[in-house]
Amino acid sequence: MPRRHKTPEERQRLKMLILDAARQLFIERGIEAVSMREIAKRMAYSPTTIYLHFADKNDLLQTLCDNDFLILANDLQHINASSKQDITEQLRQLCTAYSRYALAYPNHYRFMFMTPKPVNSKEKSRIRQGNVEQDAYAFLRSMVTQAFEQQVFRPELQNIDLIAQTMWAGIHGVCALEISMIEDDWVDWQPIEQRVFLMQEALIQGLVRPRPVH
Amino acid sequence: MPRRHKTPEERQRLKMLILDAARQLFIERGIEAVSMREIAKRMAYSPTTIYLHFADKNDLLQTLCDNDFLILANDLQHINASSKQDITEQLRQLCTAYSRYALAYPNHYRFMFMTPKPVNSKEKSRIRQGNVEQDAYAFLRSMVTQAFEQQVFRPELQNIDLIAQTMWAGIHGVCALEISMIEDDWVDWQPIEQRVFLMQEALIQGLVRPRPVH
DNA sequence: CCCAATAACTTTACACCGTTAAATTAACAG
DNA sequence: CTGTTAATTTAACGGTGTAAAGTTATTGGG
């Protein structure tokens, strides 16, 4: 029973309904269970209705993802609050918070950082790039910049993006291996907390200028 | 035109034919183009013939993967040859060789280490686990063990697997981000060689006992 | 007040996919 | 020569994403 000229609020509500159904399916039964037909079934609409609000499946997933990026960025915010602590301690906390997020929502994380995406996805995103409150990379980068200005890194390290990307890659590596290989009993995996912790410490030790020995 | 009692050699040859077709498709058009039907078309058989030699698609891909694991392990072998060099230099070379492999065959790498696999895959593998010449993790682990015995690591690091897994995760992180995010222009990615190099150095610096300062 | 326009939604359809079951073919054993 | 059986194909099932066409029912304009 269609109504002509749905209000923008109603259109938004339906869009949310789609996203909610998708997210629920995503969480309950994993990413491979998320099909357009399944989403539609769950919200008691026909599959093609979804295409009135999203260009295609990827667009839908991308939108779903945007939300998760915001949640991640938001999770990181509270670190800065306790800014009495020194900057390396804050970097440590950043590593911990990031890995906690990744391991708490492995399905989301997989889609966010472990799946190649079409190139056009940036323009459509509603996240404001570079905004520290919405863009987790920007947050990391700004923290690294702070540390850099306090000259905590080894003197030969002069490229802020390179430092930030290396830290990211380190923690990402631990989380990504955990998510992909958790079922694999080929390797005698050590506890994930220990792996995160050692990576974090190794990165700090490896990148930070050694304290002068008296 | 079926022949009764195909010889084991012929059966093996057909199996190879399937694997070759799959691999070629894999390389040419990416993993999502590798469908049973496409493979069959390429080798001018019917799709169902494949199922006479492989249990299902995953079994096929797993077998394909086994080969790549062997190639990786083989790529690493020659590092030990030049064993005159000190062990940290060998660890550096291991990092470089690993990342070179990952970035040269991103599709293979994706499937090997960035895709969750069913649990039963180990039993069927023809790779001998723990064999340094066939198992890349065993190779890394043995090299870390050597280094450990020479007491090159920081004294608080006593868990060999933990050290090995952390080194792996670091390099994996760089490669995995590169492979997944290469198209992403959100982040101002620094050159991949620099990212690999800094990770490698950070890991060494972070894990290795500092030389005593005179 | 009525009717045509159109937004909202559904039905149908296409071309794929992995996989199974049944049918077909042809070489061999007796 | 014939029945058996291995090798292979055809047909089919239930799934996928998505495009095109069809169906309503409300609404703005004459």
For the domain with range A1-54, which CATH number is right: 1.10.286, 1.10.3470, 3.30.420, 1.10.10? 1.10.10
The answer to whether A73 and A133 are in contact (CB under 8 A) is yes
B chain contacts of residue A129, beta-carbon cutoff 8 Å? 186
- Protein footprint on strand D: which nucleotides are under 7 Å from a CB? 5-11, 15-21, 24-28
Closest residue by Cα to residue A204 from A117, A123, A86, A82: A86
Q: Check if CATH label 1.10.357.10 holds for domain A57-207.
A: yes
Residue B46 approaches strand C within 7 Å at CB: no
pLDDT score of B200 more than 80 = yes
Residue B4: pLDDT band (50, 70, 90) is low
Task: Report the helix count and the strand count for chain B, using DSSP H and E.
Answer: 9, 0
Range in A203-207, B6-10, B80-84, B181-185 the model is least confident about: B80-84
CA distances to A64, B156, B163 from B87, rounded to whole Å, are 47, 19, 14
Residue B6: pLDDT band (50, 70, 90) is confident
- Position A31 scores a pLDDT of 86
A chain contacts of residue B174, beta-carbon cutoff 8 Å? 166, 169, 173
- Position A122 scores a pLDDT of 59
- Position A167 scores a pLDDT of 98
- Position B193 scores a pLDDT of 98
Closest residue by Cα to residue A64 from A111, A101, A102: A111
pLDDT score of B85 more than 80 = no
pLDDT score of B186 more than 60 = yes
Q: Mark residue B46 as left, alpha or beta (left: phi above 0; alpha: psi -120 to 50; beta: remaining).
A: beta
Q: Where are the domains of chain B?
A: 1-54, 64-207
CB atoms B176 and A172 under 8 Å: yes
Work out the mean pLDDT of chain B and round it to a whole number: 90
In this complex, the residue of A117, A174, A204 whose CB is nearest that of residue B169 is A174
Determine the Cα–Cα distance for residues B37 and A84; give it in Å rounded to an integer: 61
B chain contacts of residue A187, beta-carbon cutoff 8 Å? 137, 161, 165
- B105, burial (CB in 10 Å: exposed 0-12, middle 13-18, buried 19+): middle
Query: What SS3 string covers B141-167?
Result: HHHHHHHHHCCCECCCCCCHHHHHHHH
Do the domains at B1-54 and B64-207 have one common CATH topology?
no
- Position A48 scores a pLDDT of 97
- Position A49 scores a pLDDT of 97
Give residue-wise pLDDT tens across range B91-146. 999 999 999 999 998 988 998 999 887 666 666 677 777 888 889 999 999 999 99
Share of chain B above pLDDT 70, in %: 92
The answer to whether A79 and A140 are in contact (CB under 8 A) is no
Nearest residue: Cα versus C1' of C29: B4
| Tens digits of pLDDT across chain A (214 residues) | 556 677 778 889 999 999 999 999 998 888 888 999 999 999 999 999 999 999 999 999 999 989 899 999 999 998 876 666 789 999 999 999 999 999 999 988 999 999 887 666 656 677 777 888 889 999 999 999 999 999 999 999 999 999 999 999 999 999 999 999 988 888 999 999 999 999 999 999 999 998 765 5
CA of B68, C1' of C24: distance in angstroms: 38
For the domain with range B64-207, which CATH number is right: 1.10.357.10, 1.10.40.60, 1.10.287.130, 1.10.620.20? 1.10.357.10
Q: How far, rounded to the nearest angstrom, does the alpha carbon of residue A106 sit from its chain's CA centroid?
A: 10
